[in-house]
Structure 1
Amino acid sequence: MTYRRPVTTSPLPRHPKIEIDVDADLARELLVQQHPDLADLPLHGRVFGWDNLTWRLGEDLALRFPVREASSTLIEREQRWLPVLAERLPVPVPRPVHDGRPGLGYPWTWSVVPWLPGAPVAATPVAGRTAWATELADALAALHRPASPDAPTNPYRGVPLADRYPVMVERLTPAVPHADALREALDAGLAAPRWDGAAVWVHGDPHPGNLVSRDGHLAGLLDFGDLCAGDPASDLATAWMTFDAAGRAAFVERTQAVQAWDDATWVRARAWAASYVPVLLAHPEEYPLMAAVGRHCAAQLARG
């Protein structure tokens, strides 16, 4: 049997980069082929991210499929390293419970992961996030430990700002809100001393779309596809993406109590936050929640 693209009456989902869709039929057929013990569970609640789509499987599991070749190896990174890192983290993460192989014409590795109940933080009121700001600080502090010598690298996260600065500045067009303040943050980060410590584990993308909250607590840290070793500043940018002033103060205070990063690390973190704004705003119709995160982050940075 070969993979079938959706017919013209059922077009590909609205997604700027999608190359391959995984409809319910294909997901079910892959389960029958590779994990038949799960094949009778209901499939529901399909959602798309930038690199992957997720089908909820029953009540407690989910299927995670890459949708484009450029990101197809990120799932393999999660399969390799989340079993190692999950044990040290004080918050649930989608550690794969089964690996999926290419099959039926679908060309990439995929995963069966736990479903983490709760609300995507990007869809929750910002003021309510202060309640668990210290929990996110603890989770990232637990992650930001010296990385293994064979840890993956990532040209887009954890690297010196100088490596990304030309692209970051180019994206700050006049259409980006608070562009002048964002440029000031980028320039300050570039001028700050570079990270000179041991490379630590970096999540790579702890924005509010990859956080789950429930009953006033942080209930999940998702999407470790950008996991790498490097400078923790690119993760600490979540202070501006996720929180208001009160939440950010709680997050920073707790982080400093545990990690005591130097001032330069926070200057670089602020620069990384500025760099994410135009990316978050790039596709407002396809990703309205991410666009809202981008506007919030820009406003927080503009306030100083």
Structure 2
Amino acid sequence: MKSISTSLVQHLIAAQFPQYAHLPISPVPFGGHDNRTFHLGPDMSIRLPSGAAYAPKVEKEQYWLPKLAPFLPLPIPKPIAMGKPSADYPYQWSIYSWIEGETASVDHISDMTKFATDLASFLKALHKIDTTGGLVAGAHNFYRGGPLRTYDSEIQHALALTQDKSYAKKVTRLWEAALSSTWQGAPIWVHGDVAIGNLLVKDGHLAAIIDFGGMGIGDPACDLVIAWTFLKGQCRAVFQKALPFDEAMWIRARGWALWKAFCHPVEGQEEEAQRVIHEALEA
């Protein structure tokens, strides 16, 4: 597929939503990996999947986000319209209302403890929503909420390439502990990618949660990795105390954090991946 350029998006809007053709369109900085995001005027955004693997998320978000939103304490994306595949672009795509905010970072947050508490409150509300008709974790959301064992082959491959055997033993010990338990409750809603890029901050406080493409129902352990990828010390403790989960859940969450950092470190952020691995191993 050719690159998703501003001119392509302008053409798609003009062809399918001519009522918006007069509005300026510009790319959003750091618009994401799974999707390319563009401003549409001052109050809307356009999101287009960057590849076939991410395309099924569009219709899922269009259907479920309006159903989840009334039960959540913070704003989430509001679908306005869904674009159709065409000769110029082969997937469905979305128009959403624009949500103001900056990507979460220590510099943008005025009170990290309150941030941790607010995020925990959001997750508790999400986990309580009726799951009737919800999509069980699977290929559509890269098995977020599914069993960690799905990714055991990736861990074993990465371990086989690890020359530091002492380090490999630590990784193996945590991974085996994470695999030793499974979620015994009924499936509950998971966001699927609670990462700083999907947490918006405004005026120093958590203001919105975005990108629900990884949503599904299953084991919520995958939603807790933020405890090791971003939260530290007392803030991590506050986050954990605010959520009603047992030790096995938190060990599975550490397993999710380990898998992502150990097997899929972001290019150029290898040091950060090593920090996350260390935090997960030493917790």
Taking the aligned partners of 1:250 and 1:292, their CA distance within structure 2 comes to 26
Which residue number corresponds to residue 69 of structure 1? Answer: 52
Amino acid at match of 2:51: R
Which residue number corresponds to residue 185 of structure 1? Answer: 174
| Change over 3 Å in CA distance of 1:154–1:224 after alignment to 2 | same
The normalised TM-score by structure 1 is 0.82
1:52-78 CA-to-partner distances (Å, cap 9, x unmatched) read 110112222110001111111111111
Q: Tell me, which stretches of 5 or more residues in structure 2 are unaligned?
A: none
How far the C-alpha of 1:169 sits from its partner, in A, is 3.5
Contact between 1:182 and 1:275, CA under 8 Å: does it hold in 2? no
Matched, 1:262 2:249: no
Matched, 1:277 2:261: yes
Q: Tell me, which stretches of 5 or more residues in structure 1 are unaligned?
A: 1-18
Matched, 1:294 2:283: no
Which residue number corresponds to residue 110 of structure 1? Answer: 93
How far the C-alpha of 1:184 sits from its partner, in A, is 2.8
Which residue number corresponds to residue 9 of structure 1? Answer: none
Taking the aligned partners of 2:70 and 2:47, their CA distance within structure 1 comes to 21
Taking the aligned partners of 1:31 and 1:103, their CA distance within structure 2 comes to 12
- Pick which of 163-172 and 53-62 moved more: 163-172
Alignment root-mean-square deviation, CA: 2.5
Taking the aligned partners of 2:257 and 2:96, their CA distance within structure 1 comes to 29
The 3-state SS of whatever aligns with 1:44 is: strand
Which residue number corresponds to residue 244 of structure 1? Answer: 232
How far the C-alpha of 1:277 sits from its partner, in A, is 0.8
| Change over 3 Å in CA distance of 1:123–1:76 after alignment to 2 | farther
| Change over 3 Å in CA distance of 1:153–1:247 after alignment to 2 | same
| Change over 3 Å in CA distance of 1:141–1:299 after alignment to 2 | same
Q: Percent identity?
A: 34
Q: How does 1:1-304 map to 2 (within 5 A)?
A: 19-46=1-28, 47-121=30-104, 124=107, 129-145=112-128, 148-155=131-138, 156-172=143-159, 173-174=161-162, 180-191=169-180, 193-255=181-243, 260-284=244-268, 288=269, 294-304=273-283
Taking the aligned partners of 1:249 and 1:72, their CA distance within structure 2 comes to 37
Amino acid at match of 2:156: V
Taking the aligned partners of 1:283 and 1:60, their CA distance within structure 2 comes to 33
Which residue number corresponds to residue 5 of structure 1? Answer: none
- Pick which of 203-212 and 144-153 moved more: 144-153
Taking the aligned partners of 2:249 and 2:81, their CA distance within structure 1 comes to 37
Taking the aligned partners of 2:195 and 2:129, their CA distance within structure 1 comes to 22
| Change over 3 Å in CA distance of 1:245–1:20 after alignment to 2 | farther
The normalised TM-score by structure 2 is 0.87
1:163-210 CA-to-partner distances (Å, cap 9, x unmatched) read 33232332354389x66544332121112x311100001111111121
- Pick which of 157-166 and 118-127 moved more: 118-127
How far the C-alpha of 1:136 sits from its partner, in A, is 0.5
1:10-52 CA-to-partner distances (Å, cap 9, x unmatched) read xxxxxxxxx4422111111211122222222211233442211
Taking the aligned partners of 1:226 and 1:74, their CA distance within structure 2 comes to 7
How many residues are treated as equivalent by the alignment?
275
| Change over 3 Å in CA distance of 1:220–1:27 after alignment to 2 | same
